[in-house]
Amino acid sequence: MKRTMSGLSLVEMVMTIVIISIALVASLTAFSTLSGRTADGMIQTRTLDLAQLYIDEILNHRFDEATGAFGVPTYTGACRITNDGESRDAYDDVDDFDAINNEIPTFADSALASAYDGFRVSVSVSCDNSIGINAEGAKLIQISIVNPQNQTGVFAVYKGNY
C-alpha cells in the first residue's frame, strides 16, 4: 500500500495569508466606519428628545401675558412679544422663553443630566402671520440645540391664540 502525502506548498501558504489579510483589512475598515457612526444616532436622538421637552414646556404656557387662565379669555390685541424680566421658574407665557440663550439643560435626575452634557439650548419667539391661523398672528417658536459635536438642530412650532 502506497501512501501519498499531501500538504500546502510555501507559495500556496503565502497566497492564503495575503488573501486573508486583504479580507481582514476590508472588514475592519467597514466595521470601524460603521461603529464610528453609532454615536451620531444617539446624539441625534438626544437632540430630538431635548427639543421635545422644551416644546412641551413652552406650549404648555399661555399665548400672551394678557391671556386668561387656561386660555380663556383669549388675548384680543395684535401679536406682541413682551419682556417681563421674570426668572426662569416664573415664566407664565410663551414669549418669556425668548430670553433663553445658550442655556445648559437642567434636570432633577442627575443621571439624565449627565446624558445631556455639552448640549446648549436657545429659544426665539416671534410674531408670524404667514400661515394665517390667527387674524392677529401666531407666535413662531424656534428652538436651536447645539450638541457636543457643535452641530445645530433647529426645531420650530407655532402657538396660536385660541
Write a three-state SS string for 28-91.
HHHHHHHHHCHHHHHHHHHHHHHHHHHHHHHHCCECCCCCCHHHCCCCCCCCCCCCCCCCHHHC
Q: Does residue 18 lie in a domain region?
A: no
- Mean pLDDT over 122-139 rounds to 81
Q: Does residue 59 lie in a domain region?
A: yes
Average pLDDT of the chain to the nearest whole number = 85
Q: Does residue 109 lie in a domain region?
A: yes
Q: Does residue 134 lie in a domain region?
A: yes
- Mean pLDDT over 85-101 rounds to 88
Sorted by sequence, the CB contacts under 8 Å of residue 39 that are 6+ apart come out as: none
pLDDT band at 118 (very low <50, low <70, confident <90, very high): very high
Q: Does residue 55 have a pLDDT over 90? A: yes
pTM for this entry: 0.73
Contact, 95 vs 81, CB < 8 A? yes
Cβ burial, residue 85 (10 Å; 0-12/13-18/19+): exposed
Q: Does residue 86 have a pLDDT over 90? A: no
Q: Does residue 152 lie in a domain region?
A: yes
Contact, 93 vs 80, CB < 8 A? no
What local confidence, expressed as pLDDT, does residue 54 receive? 94
How many domains does the chain contain in total? Answer: 1
Domain span at 135? 45-159
Residue for cell digits 404648555? Answer: 60
Q: Does residue 30 have a pLDDT over 90? A: no
Q: Does residue 37 lie in a domain region?
A: no
| Residue 141: how many other CB atoms lie within 10 Å | 23
CA-CA distance, 124 to 114, in Å (whole number)?
A: 25
Q: Does residue 42 have a pLDDT over 80? A: yes
What local confidence, expressed as pLDDT, does residue 33 receive? 74
Q: Does residue 127 lie in a domain region?
A: yes
Q: Does residue 120 lie in a domain region?
A: yes
What local confidence, expressed as pLDDT, does residue 97 receive? 93
Cβ burial, residue 127 (10 Å; 0-12/13-18/19+): middle
